Chain A
């Protein structure tokens, strides 16, 4: 499988069209994802974000082009299992992902499907629950947890696959502020531990935590780069159907009033310290 440095997800000329659809959901995507980094994928409704996420772990196979994970082609049926093991997913609706009747068995579901010995499953489940910090919920019924707790269980279930990447398809969009913070903090920690995180979202604040931001529009990559480069122009962001960061809007207004705020200021603290300088 090669060492961690060389393990990447690659999309090359990827197009995807849903059966019976009139146009492509993805129309020519070239991207590369590395471990140890967090990527935020942004875009308006229908821009192809979810389709992209589903192509990454082989749930969808490109109509044209190819997706490779650690060198394995997702179109090759034989590598499907290997790809899904390395690229775990967390979905939007926590209720539609809970399968088992207790949290620990929920977390165990993936490793069970891999056919591991019970002792090995136990180890993975405990490690995953500890990483996420839900050990005390082990015996609870997933259905009875709060939305935020359920989503943490879903992340633990993904981690128990011992993947190299986690793809989150709007996993924070149904959560309240506290729960969202917890999930994002966890993603940051996992990234620092060397996992690759691909987080699909439509909150720009969340994209600020990423190393790389990818903005999709009509199934193609409209912009890609560090948050400070991609998100600092409110008009560009607005043009792509996204809510611009408030700070950038104020900076633009300040510019029309003749006050130039240095580039790269994206949050309130930085803006206020400029003001008081």
Chain B
């Protein structure tokens, strides 16, 4: 399977007038595989927001190169076609809502891509369906009249309406409560499943992506400190505290169990963890 999106030694510095440029990313190399959920995690100021925008083609790397589907992204034409393949949901995405109705807001992106009439309506309906927005009920309402959770999902629908192959989300869970967060996770999982899309979740809280993500890219001061799988994080191959992060509770529990000599297959599933513990109890009770 070929990689979908690749970054090779990508650096980015923000230009500051009259002063030295402000470096935000320094030599990042990574590959996003088709259909995977990749978590990009780092503390405040680690460069993760910048990386999200680079991945979406909104910021052009100041050094290094990017590729998509095996082809190098060079020149404006390639860049534009690349941008169409990637959808980016910004932090506090509800800030981007502007139209009079939910329908129009979701339709903004596909209209920009030249969709019209029936094609447009199908696209909007399918995006709204993916994002868990009931168009019959909400389609004609003003986006500003919705609850926080609904607004965030309408914003997501606006991005899904572009039918992206790679969906990048910058801190998608900030400000959402548990229910809305779980709903969003469900939406992302289903979109990945049905569309075969890659999902990149950018977050400062590993717990946000713990149940969804296959791999974790850990950023530290604009550099890539490590790319790890869940099991490696649990094992403690890398000191998370030094990166301003911590292992999610599930992971910490799994780590505790492993230290006690209990094998854990999936460190994000409570049933698996409980079974492992129960077995251990039985074994020690039996002795």
Contact = CB atoms under 8 A, between A and B. Distances in A.
A44 B178 contact: yes
A263 interface: no
Contacts of A257: 274-275, 278
A253 interface: yes
Interface stretch (A97-105, A106-114, A241-249): A241-249
Contacts of A202: 177-178
Contacts of B275: 253, 257
A274 B205 CA distance: 28
Interface in A245-277: 245-247, 249-250, 253-254, 256-259, 268-269, 271-272, 275-276
Contacts of A241: 177-179
A118 interface: no
B176 interface: yes
Interface stretch (B55-63, B153-161, B246-254): B246-254
Contact of B147 (A45, A238, A258, A268): A45
Contacts of B186: none
Interface in B156-195: 174-181
A72 interface: no
Contacts of B274: 250, 253-254, 256-257
A117 B27 CA distance: 53
A46 B204 CA distance: 24
Contact count band on B: 35 or more
A179 B246 CA distance: 12
Contact of A249 (B44, B179, B244, B270): B270
A247 B44 contact: no
B277 A259 contact: yes
B148 interface: yes
**Nearest 9 interchain pairs by C-beta:** A253-B274, A246-B249, A243-B178, A44-B177, A257-B278, A176-B43, A176-B204, A45-B177, A249-B270
Interface of A: 44-46, 146-148, 173-179, 202, 205, 238, 241-243, 245-247, 249-250, 253-254, 256-259, 268-269, 271-272, 275-276
Interface of B: 43-45, 147-149, 174-181, 204-205, 244-246, 248-250, 252-253, 256-257, 260, 262, 270-271, 273-275, 277-278, 280-281, 284
17 contacts: A44-B178, A45-B177, A148-B44, A173-B174, A176-B205, A177-B246, A178-B244, A241-B177, A243-B181, A246-B249, A246-B270, A250-B274, A253-B273, A253-B274, A257-B275, A268-B252, A271-B253
